Amino acid sequence: MLLAGAGLDVTIFESQPVIGGRTRRLEAGPYSFDCGPTFFMMPYVLEEIFGSVGMATSDFVEMKRLDPMYRLLIGNDRGTKPTQIDTTGDLQKMAARLEAVQPGDGRAFLRFIADNRKKLALMEPILRSPIRGLSDLMTLDAMKVAPVLRPWESIYTHLTRYFKSEESRLAMSFQSKYLGMSPFECPSLFSILPFIEYEYGVWHPIGGCNALVAAMAEACSRLGARIETACPVERVMFEGKRACGVVVRGEEQRFDHVVVNADATWAMKNLIPASLRRADQQDAALDAKRYSCSTFMLYLGMEGEVDLPHHTIYTSTKYRQNLADIGEGRLSEDASFYVCNPSRIDPTLAPAGDSSLYVLVPTANTKAAKDGAPIDWKKAGPKLREETLERLSTVMGIPDAARRVKAEICFTPDDWRAQNINHGATFNLAHNITQMLHWRPQHKLQGFDNLWTVGGGTHPGSGLPVIFLASEITSRLLCAECGVKSPLDAPHARRAAEELTLATPRDRSGLLAGV
């Protein structure tokens, strides 16, 4: 969108029959599902992009803000039923709910929100800037944020300075799973994730998050970009170290610049000749990096309505052990899992009276085995499917869940790996401190000319809002190299961005969709 909006001649080669990658639409008969992301946050970032090219998100997609944002079912080892917390963007109500869990935690929540409001404001310039080396961190903006980052501290450790109860700490740290990481390892700077939910809301685009990608594709077409689906790129072409095109279906297609939105490390291993890559880009070095977890997925067309909120997250009674199992390549007896039930507010996803359920179980990626071979998903998959269907009834309270399944799609980590995701790590490279900032594959890929990256593998990282920020960074750099002005820097776009930046969170949500 941004490159086409700058007047550049853009062609997109999409390997799948439909656009979107991990954010594409899946269909099973009359039932539709998001393939990957289901939480949508920071909608003002996407509005910036649409606004910069003279459009609005609301021209294409209807957005609904969720309340409750999600339901938490926090398991315990006391033999009692899980603690239920229905989260809300009403900060005073949310504080009261945490106060009921543990006296003092409500006041701590309001302090946590205030502290992270300042933290995000300090971090936002870093999230919006290319970080190519230490020199890019020796800026006034970077020095301002340094005192609040505490890189040696995990999210969970950070939260012990606020909350007394385990339930409150888990309620403010499970979001590390958006990055495919454990809260006991994820750096504390990501405490901004729960803050962003409470400050800017959790949203549902009608049709699912895939509807946002479809909207962007429509915008691209209006701006003159060409989209070629079912056209997997076989390799990038080079003249020396300069990318000069791609090979698609055995044919050479020449271009002045190549932007890679495939899984970053998979693309380096499979699209770029090893003879051209630096030592730290060779297969062994890439595979030695730390990767996120993977996921076992069930996309279920269900008979009848399901009495669950839009999002429900269950955390294991043995949460630490469950996370350790994921890191060491084992399956847990009592695994955490997540259910999305969008049909309650979105009639486009299932026949009238029925439901489309999205069920996610975090698992080891295909590399993660500590001892012996990785999990054999041909054997483990059917067993985990049966267990998960049973737990939809016993944990989530859906009567006769297994019997009510009318349509089904199942993905295991092997399936994610087969979709050109390195090690089936659905959330990309892990976000440990040595794989962030300039230690991730950079927006202009190191060692090459005219070869660029976007997506969760580069800075700032995984998750739709920051992936959109990555695209802003890459497009600005590429426009500058082509000698054209980025639409983001046009006067009307700068004014709109200033209005969005100055707006309160509630003002921002009104600017998005007028709902």
Query: At residue 238, does pLDDT exceed 90?
Result: yes
- Taking alpha carbons only, the member of 167, 191, 192 closest to residue 105 is 167
Distance CA(167)–CA(69), nearest Å, equals: 17
Q: The domain containing residue 179 runs over which residues? A: 90-200
DSSP string, 326-359: HHHT---TT--EEEE-GGGT-TTSSSTT-EEEEE
pLDDT bin (cut points 50, 70, 90) of residue 494 is low
Mean pLDDT of 59-67: 97
Report if residue 97 sits inside a domain: yes
- Taking alpha carbons only, the member of 362, 360, 358 closest to residue 408 is 358
pLDDT tens-digit series, residues 348-404: 999 999 999 999 999 999 996 666 678 999 999 999 999 999 999 999 999 999 999
List Cα–Cα distances, 134 to 47, 145, 152, 343, 365, in angstroms.
31, 15, 18, 47, 31
Query: Which pLDDT score is estimated for 491?
Result: 65
Query: At residue 492, does pLDDT exceed 90?
Result: no
Structure tokens, 196: 């962003």
* Residue 458 · residue 127 · CB < 8 Å: no
* Helix 105-127 × helix 91-101 angle, to 10°: 130
Report if residue 407 sits inside a domain: yes
Radius of gyration of the chain measured on its C-alpha atoms = 22
Query: At residue 435, does pLDDT exceed 70?
Result: yes
- Taking alpha carbons only, the member of 329, 395, 334, 389 closest to residue 363 is 329
pLDDT bin (cut points 50, 70, 90) of residue 113 is very high
Q: Which of 72-81, 134-143, 200-209 has the highest mean pLDDT?
A: 200-209
Query: Which pLDDT score is estimated for 506?
Result: 41
Number of domains in the chain: 2
Q: Are residues 300 and 193 in the same domain?
A: no
Structure tokens, 224: 């003159």
Report if residue 415 sits inside a domain: yes
DSSP three-state, residue 234? strand
- Taking alpha carbons only, the member of 42, 362, 52, 68 closest to residue 209 is 42
Which position has the token pair 């401190």?
Answer: 433
The percent of residues above 70 in pLDDT, for the chain, comes to 93
pLDDT bin (cut points 50, 70, 90) of residue 493 is low
Distance CA(505)–CA(173), nearest Å, equals: 22
* Residue 208 · residue 342 · CB < 8 Å: yes
List Cα–Cα distances, 227 to 21, 164, 371, in angstroms.
13, 52, 44
Distance CA(18)–CA(9), nearest Å, equals: 21
Report if residue 339 sits inside a domain: yes
Give the length of the chain. Answer: 515
Residues with Cβ within 8 Å of residue 216, at least 6 apart in sequence: 1, 49
Query: At residue 136, does pLDDT exceed 80?
Result: no
* Residue 177 · residue 362 · CB < 8 Å: yes
Query: At residue 141, does pLDDT exceed 80?
Result: no
Mean pLDDT of 112-118: 95
Partners of 12 in beta bridges: 227
Report if residue 243 sits inside a domain: no
Distance CA(409)–CA(282), nearest Å, equals: 35
Report if residue 162 sits inside a domain: yes
Report if residue 429 sits inside a domain: no
Mean pLDDT of 316-328: 94
* Residue 408 · residue 28 · CB < 8 Å: yes
Distance CA(372)–CA(3), nearest Å, equals: 47
Query: Which pLDDT score is estimated for 149?
Result: 73
DSSP string, 383-429: HHHHHHHHHHHHTT--TTTGGGEEEEEEE-HHHHHHTT-GGG-TT-B
Query: Which pLDDT score is estimated for 509?
Result: 36
pLDDT bin (cut points 50, 70, 90) of residue 433 is confident
Structure tokens, 4: 């086409």
Residues with Cβ within 8 Å of residue 165, at least 6 apart in sequence: 101, 102, 105
Distance CA(155)–CA(188), nearest Å, equals: 4
The larger pLDDT score, comparing residue 233 to residue 438, is at 233
Domain end, chosen from 394, 424, 454, is at 424
pLDDT bin (cut points 50, 70, 90) of residue 144 is confident
Report if residue 222 sits inside a domain: no
Domain end, chosen from 166, 200, 234, is at 200
DSSP three-state, residue 29? coil
Distance CA(66)–CA(177), nearest Å, equals: 20
Query: Which pLDDT score is estimated for 498?
Result: 53
Q: Nearest 10 degrees: CA dihedral of 284, 289, 293, 296?
A: -20
Distance CA(453)–CA(257), nearest Å, equals: 11
Domain end, chosen from 200, 225, 256, is at 200
Distance of CA 183 to the CA centre of its chain: 16
Residue 510, Cβ neighbours under 10 Å: how many? 12
pLDDT tens-digit series, residues 253-277: 999 999 999 999 999 999 999 999 9
Alpha helices, DSSP H, located in 172-271: 192-200, 210-222, 264-271
pTM: 0.93
Beta strands at 226-228 and 11-13: parallel, antiparallel or unpaired: parallel
Structure tokens, 430: 């892990």
pLDDT bin (cut points 50, 70, 90) of residue 126 is confident
Residues with Cβ within 8 Å of residue 295, at least 6 apart in sequence: 360, 361, 362, 363, 411, 413, 416, 426
pLDDT tens-digit series, residues 164-188: 999 999 999 999 988 888 999 999 9
- Taking alpha carbons only, the member of 488, 502, 506 closest to residue 47 is 488
Structure tokens, 239: 């003249």
Query: Which pLDDT score is estimated for 501?
Result: 47
DSSP three-state, residue 9? coil
Chain mean pLDDT for the chain? 92
Q: Provide the CATH number for the domain around residue 145.
A: 1.10.405
Mean pLDDT of 190-214: 96
Distance CA(503)–CA(125), nearest Å, equals: 17
Report the chain's terminal Cα–Cα distance, integer Å: 25
